[in-house]
Chains A and B, each alone.
Chain A
């Protein structure tokens, strides 16, 4: 099992540009989560999907953020336009099952720097 795969590993962009982060979850997992990690705010849940359907996007900070999961093996998180305060490490995680009993499997993250 290759684990959760995220790309790119690092992204440097200028303010105002569009950024797209990508995630391939573990095959067979039915939940997918997007988290953001910063020193100030720690790990924040942005959005999660169940069977490709967004369930809770209450953590998405602004309309500039959007996430999609067109199929069971691919998800994107898009920021348009990007701002310096979006600089963070963005993690994708997947799991099988529900009710908080299932361990999350994390990718190695995308470090985003917006200048």
Chain B
């Protein structure tokens, strides 16, 4: 079963704009991770946020976590064509080793 659900399912924006993707989950977590998947490739880890953190930055990426609402968001600032990919959140379901992935958001950056 899917733990995380991303919203929107697809997003298309112009290069230079900011992109925001949301993830909701159902059970308590210790950590939440975001991954990117380019077409025909495996997933690549972007950032991890712990349940006691509210916000985390990495370059042009900003992740927020609201455990009371069981939701997280990924913001990509100043988007580039190379950011075109699918983005997935993954949760550890209360500390289990296995990660459960959402369905992903397909992001398209138009030049």
Contact = CB atoms under 8 A, between A and B. Distances in A.
Contacts of B40: 108
* Consensus secondary structure, chain A interface: strand
A47 to B, nearest CB: 10
Contacts of B101: 35, 42-43
Interface string A95-107: 0001111011111
Interface residues of B, number: 29
Contacts of B99: 33, 45, 100, 104
Contact of A99 (B30, B33, B42, B45): B30
A103 B48 contact: yes
Interface stretch (B14-22, B57-65, B67-75, B90-98): B90-98
Interface of A: 4, 31, 33, 35, 42-43, 45, 48, 50, 55-56, 91, 93, 98-101, 103-109
